Homo-oligomer: A and B are copies of this chain.
């Protein structure tokens, strides 16, 4: 852990034994995973989830539903047209689908929304006694200096001042957490992309913001107090700091992976080059094609891990 970060240590003996760091959890008679509409007293979580090895997450419920159909077909787990029930059907906060060892979950938009989901997912994996889990965010982003449709595998998630840290507020005080991701996993994903050879993929830093408009230097929000030149200068500074894309979830994802010991990666396609514009003007079909790219890459990775040819 880099100097300057608060000392926080994981409980348990290693990533295989527990992903949680909370001495209070074991004394609870029941744990309600409220935003999943699941719970230890109402559901047999080990039976439902004990075999999970890959968790793929993304903002949109529709995309995560289409991903599970796609991966189930590819892994020959079922008829590709089979229907997959939403495991979180009792709530509209998140959607969750499962096919064999693969779990697909939507997380909504922004750090708080993915944060709630990750707290409950990490507890779910703990209650279900899952081991050796890999989690990959497959998302969309704005690119800097890349052709639209390029896929970025995140090296480090950086904040709006380009530092690789996530600020968590606990009891009103700021705690800084490292946003380093698993280098080996990122490298393996890059190799998968090279073998696929269907679209450009790079490893780069990802800037994670709390806002889509003013927070990402867009000129087309309801409010804007800066000039086009100031926007371009800011994006140039980001580029110089190694930032290749901008999204809204990677920092808390990376911090929670590092803290819990989950092996995690962020794979996002760029929908536009922010140097050239702010609005998503590509056609619906083009944007859909772009959004399939992280799915294709992760499909290839999972098939390789499971030795499915």
**Contact in complex: B109, A221 (CB < 8 Å):** no
**Contact in complex: A21, B170 (CB < 8 Å):** no
**Contact in complex: A21, B224 (CB < 8 Å):** yes
Query: Within 8 Å of chain B (Cβ to Cβ): is A118?
Result: yes
Question: What is the bound-complex CA distance between A212 and B256, given in angstroms?
Answer: 14
Query: Within 8 Å of chain B (Cβ to Cβ): is A4?
Result: no
Query: Within 8 Å of chain B (Cβ to Cβ): is A245?
Result: no
Q: Beyond A113-B110, A234-B172, is A24–B61 a contact (Cβ under 8 Å)?
A: no
Question: What is the bound-complex CA distance between A123 and B8, given in angstroms?
Answer: 43
**Contact in complex: A111, B280 (CB < 8 Å):** no
Question: What is the bound-complex CA distance between A260 and B237, given in angstroms?
Answer: 30
3 nearest interchain CB pairs?
A: A110-B112, A122-B222, A22-B224
A10, closest chain B residue (CB): B223
Question: What is the bound-complex CA distance between A168 and B224, given in angstroms?
Answer: 12
Q: Which of A28-36, A181-189, A288-296 has 4 or more CB atoms under 8 Å from chain B? A: A28-36
In A87-116, the 8 Å CB interface with B consists of 92-93, 108-113, 115-116
In A165-187, the 8 Å CB interface with B consists of 168-172
Query: Within 8 Å of chain B (Cβ to Cβ): is A213?
Result: yes
Contacts of A92 in B (CB 8 A): 60-62
Question: What is the bound-complex CA distance between A214 and B222, given in angstroms?
Answer: 32
Q: Beyond A169-B160, A171-B234, A222-B260, is A212–B24 a contact (Cβ under 8 Å)?
A: no
**Contact in complex: B60, A24 (CB < 8 Å):** no
Query: Within 8 Å of chain B (Cβ to Cβ): is A55?
Result: no
**Contact in complex: B23, A224 (CB < 8 Å):** yes
Q: Is the interface on chain A under 10, 10 to 19, 20 to 34, or 35 or more residues? A: 35 or more
Query: Within 8 Å of chain B (Cβ to Cβ): is A267?
Result: no
A92, closest chain B residue (CB): B62
Contact indicator per residue, chain A 246-265, by CB within 8 Å of chain B (1) or not (0): 00100000001001100000
With A32-B279, A120-B222, A222-B260 known, 17 other A-B pairs at CB within 8 A are A21-B225, A22-B220, A22-B221, A22-B224, A31-B279, A60-B93, A61-B92, A62-B92, A109-B112, A110-B116, A112-B112, A112-B211, A116-B211, A160-B169, A168-B211, A168-B214, A170-B217
**Contact in complex: A8, B225 (CB < 8 Å):** yes
Query: Within 8 Å of chain B (Cβ to Cβ): is A161?
Result: yes
In A23-58, the 8 Å CB interface with B consists of 23-25, 28, 30-32, 34-35
Question: What is the bound-complex CA distance between A214 and B221, given in angstroms?
Answer: 31
Query: Within 8 Å of chain B (Cβ to Cβ): is A281?
Result: yes
Query: Within 8 Å of chain B (Cβ to Cβ): is A206?
Result: no
**Contact in complex: B160, A215 (CB < 8 Å):** no
Query: Within 8 Å of chain B (Cβ to Cβ): is A205?
Result: no
Residue from A112, A116, A119, A224 whose CB has the most chain B CB atoms within 10 Å? A112
Question: What is the bound-complex CA distance between A22 and B219, given in angstroms?
Answer: 8
Q: Which of B21, B224, B230 contacts A223 (CB 8 A)?
A: B21
